[in-house]
Amino acid sequence: MNKIAKTISEELQVKEAQVEAAIKLIDEGNTIPFIARYRKEVTGGLSDEQLRTLGERLNYLRNLEQRKEEVVKSIDEQGKLTDEILQSIAIANTLAEVEDIYRPYKQKKKTRATVAKAKGLEPLAEIIIEQKETRPIQEIAKEYINIESLSEEDKKNKDKVVGTEEDAIQGALDIIAENISDNPKYRKEIKRQCYREGMIITTATKEEEKSNYEMYYEYSEPLKYIPSHRILAINRGEKEEFLKVKIEKPEEKILQYIEKDIIKGETQFTQMLKDTILDSFKRLIEPSIDREIRSDLTEKAEDKAIKVFGQNSKQLLLGAPIKGKTVMGFDPAYRTGCKIAVIDETGKLLDYTTVYPTEPQNDVEGAKKELLKLIEKDKVDMIAIGNGTASRESEMFVADMIKETDRDVHYVIVSEAGASVYSASKLATEEYPDINVSIRGAISIARRLQDPLAELVKIDPKAIGVGQYQHDVNQKKLAESLTGVVEDSVNKVGVDVNTATPSLLSYVSGINNTIAKNIVKYRDENGKLKNRKELLKVPKLGKVAFEQCAGFLRIMDGDNPLEITAVHPESYEATEKLLEKLGFKKEDLKDKIKLDELRQKLKTVDVKNLSQELGIGEMTLTDIISELSKPGRDPREDMPKPILRSDVLKLDDLKEGMILTGTVRNVIDFGAFVDIGVKHDGLVHISEMSDKFIKNPSDVVSVGDIVKVKVIKIDKDRQKVGLSMKC
């Protein structure tokens, strides 16, 4: 354990004691959100992101230790374990290194070397590799010819026959070639040289064929510099059979390195060994090293892509909600018509219809008449337009239509990624059993504007689509990472236990799908929960689950005003003592004047001294003070609000040098896509994000950010817009 904790503490650059405490809490079954929020004193304030990384590394390093034990046991059972092997395994930092050490001792399938060993040619291989024998090798090899001593049956089996001196020598060299290939020292050095000096080379399978991979039709880049998005693009191009890929290595240096280690001066064996080293490299080492390097590059690229996807998803999930507004969801389409759904400020469906203002029907007047009628009838405040097919045509129609109403109506472009996945899901069928699948998408789009988090948790995180190459990466790793992102987002915001859907509740710390459904069932049968303690009456929600979930669940009109905050029940006593010391009581949290007075008093608290007096940690007290200062506050209120529009831009309206305001829709390795209100999002390349050097676009912008951009390039033929944030 200490070794693992030490490794993780060095990687995270935190104290070993913090890591050991966190590992203990994880092993006891505590969730990451709970540890991050309510066990800060124990872990020294490790964040949810640090704890997620810690959890991943803990899992990997434990698997590594287990594999080391298995390898040691296997080599020992073969009677080949030495102190040197034990030492090599002990210092190995990766599973790949352990497998390289184990390679010579692995049970092999039939190879040229295993056949040669079965023929008894290992002693001859030893003679050649030692390079001491002065007798001619042909003469020595004669001693290994066995054809005369074999039975008639065995003579027919070429895997048993050594018929000539040449056969004996070749078999011995095959054994040497495999030994060279299996040598972990050589493999480690070869990989090191490849990463330092190797190149990835791509060529077209059919040069004349147009594709998205044309930039890679004749392309090369050093392995040490290639960014993850290019690795994933090349992989996809190869998979789709547009590209051929090879790794170019410093072959001469590699061969010299092995020769220097093996060849001992000029002897009758020198050329033979040089040829064998070349054979070993070309036939055995190179193909497997290529596979390992490609696999290693892909794994690192996937990890980066998954991280970017997670960051983008978190920003989208934590998008600012638009509360207290009646919203018209507008799901654009061409032939099948635009689906419309109106929902009130609580998310309840009021009306729905289908209109046909776009191609091929072009019933602009009929659509306008119907929607204006709904706007007046339902008192619509905002229109949420999905950003998919026919979005810009729909936007032009909406911008024109709202000029004809007396109501103050604005529209917002909303990401509709995953709406169709939700529409056809079992969950959507349960929510709206009598509503057509296509209308459900419009409801989802409207609700995303009202509360992005509550709506997006209903969708498989992979379908949210704010990353790059999400379908190409390891799906298990992606799912695990995104589930963690959703959990952290949900628990950061907190959940109203009396209104939340089972989908939202299931992401709360300590609550699984079964408990989530049981909470809703209990609520339906007994009415609203009045306090957090009542949760213990929910079937299957025991004391352990209660401890994990209670602080993240809010009860807005309950018995205890502290329960609209993230103060955990275990801290109620200390919180009430704090309020009492300042001359207040918990009921004052509901009185605006008293609350303002309390805020002023809380600013004067001496945290260090008072934490000792109340018997709680300084970090916990700081969190309690923060919660009492803004009871019931939604942390998403600090996030940038969506841009409200009332008019539309066309590509033809754009001119180079124009300054516009846009919404960041996606952040990738090489920049960010920004919605500026034309049909296609514009690209801000990483080089146009700042006058300073930027290593990672996510250091500068996040999904949902509102940014000022300058138009620097317009490609009307390809419908592409280049943008700069240097304005």
Give the residue extent of every domain in the chain: 2-105, 113-304, 327-450, 651-724
Q: Residue 587: how many CB atoms within 10 A of its CB?
A: 11
The residues near 68 (Cβ < 8 Å, ≥ 6 apart) are 89, 90, 92, 98
Supply the pLDDT for residue 467. 64
Supply the pLDDT for residue 375. 95
CA distance linking residue 482 with residue 399, whole number of Å: 36
Supply the pLDDT for residue 465. 64
For residues 200 and 247, is the Cβ–Cβ distance under 8 A?
yes
SS3 of 664, please? strand
Supply the pLDDT for residue 468. 67
Q: What is the CA radius of gyration of the chain?
A: 33
Correct CATH for 327-450 of 3.30.420.140, 3.90.1640.30, 3.30.930.10, 3.40.190.80: 3.30.420.140
Supply the pLDDT for residue 402. 92
For domain 651-724, the CATH superfamily is: Nucleic acid-binding proteins (2.40.50.140)
Q: Give the helix/strand (H/E) hosting 600.
A: helix 592-602
Own/partner pairs, 139-146, CB within 8 angstroms, 24+ separation: 141/165, 141/166, 141/168, 141/169, 141/172, 142/168, 144/119, 144/120, 144/168, 146/119, 146/120
Topology of the domain covering 113-304: Tex N-terminal region-like (1.10.3500)
For residues 603 and 625, is the Cβ–Cβ distance under 8 A?
no
SS3 of 502, please? helix
Q: Residue 322: how many CB atoms within 10 A of its CB?
A: 20
Q: Of 64, 53, 51, which is closest to residue 4 (Cα–Cα)? A: 64
Q: Give the number of residues written for the chain.
A: 727
CA distance linking residue 463 with residue 385, whole number of Å: 19
Distances in whole angstroms, Cα of residue 482 to Cα of each of 438, 453, 464, 489, 513: 27, 14, 10, 10, 17
Q: Per the structure block, which two tokens stand in for 455? A: 């709506």
Phi-psi region of 347 (alpha: psi -120 to 50; beta: other; left: phi over 0): left
User: Running along the chain, 727 residues long, what does each successive block of 10 average in pLDDT?
Assistant: 88 95 96 96 94 94 95 93 93 92 88 91 95 93 84 77 89 95 94 96 86 89 91 92 94 96 93 96 95 94 87 84 91 93 91 94 94 96 88 86 91 83 85 88 92 86 70 82 88 91 92 95 94 96 96 92 94 93 90 89 90 91 92 77 64 82 84 82 90 86 85 84 88
CA distance linking residue 540 with residue 505, whole number of Å: 14
For residues 297 and 226, is the Cβ–Cβ distance under 8 A?
yes
Supply the pLDDT for residue 649. 63
What torsion do the CA atoms of 482, 486, 487, 490 make, to the nearest 10 degrees? 170
Q: Do 2-105 and 651-724 fold alike per CATH? A: no
Supply the pLDDT for residue 343. 94
CATH class belonging to 2-105: mainly alpha
Supply the pLDDT for residue 1. 56
